[in-house]
Amino acid sequence: MGMAVLRIRTSYRWKFDDLAEFVGVIERVKRGTILHKALSLIERPADADSVRRAVVKGLLLLGESPSRWDVEGLARCIERVLGCGDARPFFPEDPKVRVYSEREFLKTPTEVLRPDRVVEYEDRVLVVDFKASRPSSLKLYKSYADQVKKYVSVVSDFFKRPAEGYLLFIEPPRVERVV
């Protein structure tokens, strides 16, 4: 059997020796996309039922059948993120703190940036980019960090206040400040 090559919205390539390995990667990418979508639907701290509803809604928005996925397992993963102390500022309890998910910001007239989450506090703005897991490749990590730095520059100019940039890794939950 020939080798399959997968290309996903990046310049990175993966090579697979067999179909099972290929399918496994596709499933992990889908899982990350589902978790990302569910997190983007949650603005404030949420109870288990709300998290489960966000997972189901995320699946449906992505054209996936909830019966095909372990909804409870996905919800537990999201709950672990929400329970991570370092992630709490990204899901503020205070209703006065504004949360923007997937909002577009113009860097130039032709370049649109869309951070996963922007949290507007009175004195500062937090910019968060969700990633399924921390990459093992330093080159890929650097590209993630550079992306967040671009977001921070544009968001700081837009809100006219200091901005901080973070990577939020979902599995396992981990927050890393970039700038």
**Kind of pairing between the strands at 117-120 and 125-131:** antiparallel
| Residue 2: band (very low, low, confident or very high) from pLDDT cuts 50, 70, 90 | low
Average pLDDT over residues 109-138: 96
pLDDT of 66-103, one tens digit each? 999 999 999 999 999 999 999 999 999 999 999 999 99
Instruction: Give the residue, 53 or 13, on which the prediction is more confident.
Output: 53
| Residue bearing the bigger pLDDT, 2 or 160 | 160
Cβ–Cβ < 8 Å for 6, 14? yes
Above 70 in pLDDT, residue 8?
no
pLDDT for the residue 1: 47
The pLDDT value recorded for residue 9 is 55
Give me the pLDDT at residue 96, please: 96
**Which value, to the nearest 10 degrees, does the dihedral of the CA atoms of residues 125, 127, 142, 133 take?**
140
Q: Which CATH number fits domain 86-177: 1.10.10.10, 3.90.320.10, 2.70.98.10, 3.20.20.80?
A: 3.90.320.10
Q: Is the pLDDT of residue 23 over 60?
A: yes
Q: What is the pLDDT of residue 41?
A: 97
Higher pLDDT residue, 120 or 17? 120
Whether the predicted pLDDT of 21 surpasses 70: yes
Average pLDDT of the chain to the nearest whole number:
92
Give the residue with greater pLDDT, 1 vs 140: 140
Mean pLDDT value across residues 34-41: 97
User: What's the rounded Cα separation, in Å, for the pair 28 and 131?
Assistant: 12
The residues spanned by each domain of the chain are 4-83, 86-177
What sections of the chain are H helices per DSSP? 19-40, 48-61, 71-83, 138-159
Residues 6+ apart with CB under 8 A from 58: 34, 35, 37, 38, 40, 41
Angle at 48 between CA 67 and CA 79, to 5 degrees: 90
Does pLDDT of 65 surpass 90? Answer: yes
14 pLDDT exceeds 90? no
- Residue 20, both tokens: 């099972």
Task: List, in order, residues 6 or more apart from 104 with CB less than 8 Å away.
Answer: 112, 113, 114
Q: Largest alpha-carbon pair distance within the chain?
A: 59
Q: Is the pLDDT of residue 4 over 80?
A: no
